[in-house]
Amino acid sequence: MSVRHGTRTPLFDVPVRHRSPPEPGTMRRVVNDTRRPRSRRLPTPEPVPSAPPIPAGRNGHGVVARGRATLYGSPSAAPAADLSPALLAALEHAGEGVFLLDREWRVLHRGAAAVCLTDGGAAFDGAVPTLWQAWPSLVGSEAERAMRAAMADRASARLEHRGAADDGGDRWLDILVSPTADGLCLILRDVGAQKRAEDAARRADTRFDLVAGAVEAALFDWDLETGEVTRSRGLSELLGYDPSEADATKEWWLDLVHPDDRDRVAADLGAALAAGDGYVTLCRARHKDGGYRHVRDRGLVVRDAAGRATRVVGSTVDVTARRETEAALAASEERRRLALRHAPVVVYQQDRDLRFTWVDNLNPLAWPDGVVGRTDADLLPPAEAAVVLPLKRRVMETGEAARKEVRATSPTGTRVYDLTVEPLRDERGAVVGVTGSAVDVTERWRAEEELRRRADLLDQADDAIFAWDWPNGTITFWNRGAERLYGLPRGEALGRISHDLLRTRHADTTARFLDDLERDGSWSGELEHVAADGATMTVETRHALVREPNGSAFVVEVNRDVTARRALERLHEDFLAAASHDLKNPLGAVKGQAQLLRRRLLRGGAPDVDRLVAGLEQIDATTGRMTALIDELGDIARLRAGQPLDLRLEPIDMVALVRQCAEQYGRTTDRHCLRVETPLPHLIGIWDERRLERVIANLVTNAIKYSPSGGEVLLCVDLEEGANGPWVVVAVRDRGVGIPAADLPHVFDRFRRGANVGGIAGTGIGLAGARRIVEQHGGTILVASIEGEGSTFTMRIPLNSAEA
């Protein structure tokens, strides 16, 4: 395109008498705008025959002059001698509006162009109007004041006046005011086009400055009339020269062009100046550092109204990187095309009706009939389309991108896609559809489903399983087993530091533990953790350090509470020590008694039969207790292995058995009184005598042992009727230390003893074995106790255990 600017036509080529150039600063005045309502144009007055006709037509300023010049008043009111009729005709023909005024501001002459350029005035019925009547919008304006001053001073002036045009817009007039012998001569010229051109030029200069500072290019403006070239700051970034270092000539630029490109660049420029609207040329230009850069030089040729080139404006952009990467981009595009063919990615576009207009890399077997021209509703099952279509409509309505994993079922099966939807816009920015991609993530989805399934399985595990980031310890997974073990819901654990949350204590230092884990990739052992309720526990743990391909790592930790097991093991060790002690003491007594009898026999003489029999009876009783203890250990071993006891059922008298135990163990203490209470002289039932004797003996010895201050131990035997027949009830009551309430639920657990009997010897296995023996007889054993007041153990067994 070309821009054409008009040139100013001289007002007239013949001299006007008494007109002299105005003094600088006084000749040209910009007059304030005066506005008026749009008025109708008055008809051209009847011409006086002596006035020369003005040809109808459009002058150079867009003003149509029609009719003839008008003289007002009497025939003697002829034009002043200052302006001849020929000169007036020439001015009218040039499109200049002319007013001749006398000293009273009466209009002696008003040309047709003046009528068009001014308000047009009103009909005066032959009366001679004044200028202010003929041109009402002047009244009160700066132009009026300037004209009155010129009339008074008999001086020339040049004014600019802005008024309202017939179309409602602005009309700028250039007014030359010259004194004449009779008054004043006003010569009017429409300069609106010039004003608009000047405004446009100012706006262009402003835009040039703004654009020059915003774009990454060197902008230039070449004035062809002066040969001066103005360059923007972008020259520094382009070629390393500050604009102040560059000569303001086109030759300076051509000298920078590579010699091999210079003639072509000059030829392109010359062709554009001769007949074109502009040019675009690629060349190499020398940088300040001596190297060459590939640049694109683009110029726009501006022309005036006559079609003559007056200036060239344009830009020079560094395209070195672009040129160097064009080949790489082409190769990359080809690689992308080939790679896309083997990648699980579909790219697409859809119009506002969501009909596919373009799809690339779609499996041709998925929809053999194609998808272009069809919608998602045409291609997918209703349930799947009901997910995709609202998503795409929302993108078109909001103009915001969206992303979602969706299912797509085709004749080849169901796949899962990571769908990206972007608004598709036209050149005006209006949304005209959607575009995006669909990445096939079916395999990943299946893997995630498998991971979720495994996570569900992990949730079912009794062990506490959780994972934390390496090495900072942030928890990322927490199964239900961990929730149960530590009393912490998943939401409270995720994101916390595991070592801080569980207050982990290592047998060694934490640093040593982390070093071993990093070196070996795994670690197992025991740790101490603190649960949410503050309870300290011992956990058996296994750690596995998992390193991922992206360089990150995490630790999977599997913990099992072994607090009870470790306590059981400690009690078991205590039991073995106590059992060893209980066996050694009788053995020592037997050995001592045997040695004593041997020495007496070796002295000679008649033996003391009574003492000998007493010694042997003591040995027999002691070995009997040892045998009972060994039998008890054997029973415990079988019960611990889950094997039932082999009961030897036979008729026995429970009253006699209880009395026997009371008498036997009563002899072992002088601080206790063992008393038997029963309403029955005899109570015969079918039981395993040896094992029931062990149960009663265990209850009696415990009553004696846990009543260190002495007192009465009461043994009660009775018979009760039950729904299934008679039951034998045996109760042993003491006034000893009693059992703490917290320990009562665990009294019959193996190796478990009350917290208040630490100073009293015992194994913690007697009551556990007693309960199992009673249960095998079909009965129960219960305890009632108050700490500090004593305990009562009650055994209930069927009268005939063979039927139980």
pLDDT above 50 for 58 = no
Is 148 within the bounds of a domain? yes
- Record the tokens describing residue 664, joined without a space: 């036997």
Based on the domain organization, do 791 and 720 belong to the same domain?
yes
Distance of CA 534 to the CA centre of its chain: 37
Predicted local distance difference test score (pLDDT) of residue 171: 85
Of the residues 634, 656, 690, which one is the last residue of a structural domain?
Answer: 634
* Alpha-carbon span 118 to 165, nearest angstrom: 8
- Whether residue 706 contacts residue 669, with contact meaning beta carbons closer than 8 Å, is answered with no
Based on the domain organization, do 506 and 419 belong to the same domain?
no
Local structure of 259: helix, strand or coil: helix
- The 10s digit of each residue's pLDDT in 200-252 is 878 877 776 676 666 678 889 999 999 999 988 888 888 999 988 989 999 99
- Whether residue 391 contacts residue 403, with contact meaning beta carbons closer than 8 Å, is answered with no
- The 10s digit of each residue's pLDDT in 754-797 is 444 444 344 445 788 889 899 999 999 999 998 889 999 999 99
Of the residues 516, 537, 561, which one is the last residue of a structural domain?
Answer: 561
Residue 752 domain boundaries: 646-803
Based on the domain organization, do 120 and 136 belong to the same domain?
yes
Of the residues 604, 634, 664, which one is the last residue of a structural domain?
Answer: 634
Based on the domain organization, do 655 and 627 belong to the same domain?
no
Based on the domain organization, do 554 and 686 belong to the same domain?
no
- Whether residue 481 contacts residue 459, with contact meaning beta carbons closer than 8 Å, is answered with yes
Write the CATH number for 606: 1.10.287.130
Predicted local distance difference test score (pLDDT) of residue 802: 62
Based on the domain organization, do 570 and 551 belong to the same domain?
no
Predicted local distance difference test score (pLDDT) of residue 486: 94
Based on the domain organization, do 545 and 622 belong to the same domain?
no
Is 198 within the bounds of a domain? no
Predicted local distance difference test score (pLDDT) of residue 768: 83
C-alpha dihedral sign at 775, 776, 779, 782: negative
- Residues sharing a CB contact under 8 Å with residue 341, sequence separation 6 or more, in sequence order: 361
* Alpha-carbon span 628 to 692, nearest angstrom: 12
Predicted local distance difference test score (pLDDT) of residue 1: 32
Based on the domain organization, do 70 and 181 belong to the same domain?
yes
Based on the domain organization, do 578 and 652 belong to the same domain?
no
* Alpha-carbon span 250 to 420, nearest angstrom: 52
* Sheet with 536-547, side-by-side order of all strands: 475-478, 464-469, 553-561, 536-547, 522-530, 505-506
- The 10s digit of each residue's pLDDT in 319-354 is 988 888 777 777 776 776 666 666 678 889 999 999
Count how many domains the chain has: 6
Write the CATH number for 510: 3.30.450.20
Stated pTM of the model: 0.35
Mean pLDDT check: name the lowest of 21-25, 271-275, 663-667: 21-25
Q: Which position has the token pair 């095998």?
A: 776
Based on the domain organization, do 188 and 233 belong to the same domain?
no
Based on the domain organization, do 535 and 671 belong to the same domain?
no
* Alpha-carbon span 458 to 464, nearest angstrom: 9
DSSP string, 388-407: HHHHHHHHHHH---EEEEEE
- Residues sharing a CB contact under 8 Å with residue 23, sequence separation 6 or more, in sequence order: none
Is 741 within the bounds of a domain? yes
- The 10s digit of each residue's pLDDT in 103-158 is 999 998 888 777 777 765 554 555 678 999 888 888 999 999 999 999 999 999 99
Q: Which position has the token pair 């990322």?
A: 476
Based on the domain organization, do 104 and 248 belong to the same domain?
no
pLDDT above 50 for 71 = no
Helices (H), 606-688: 609-640, 654-666
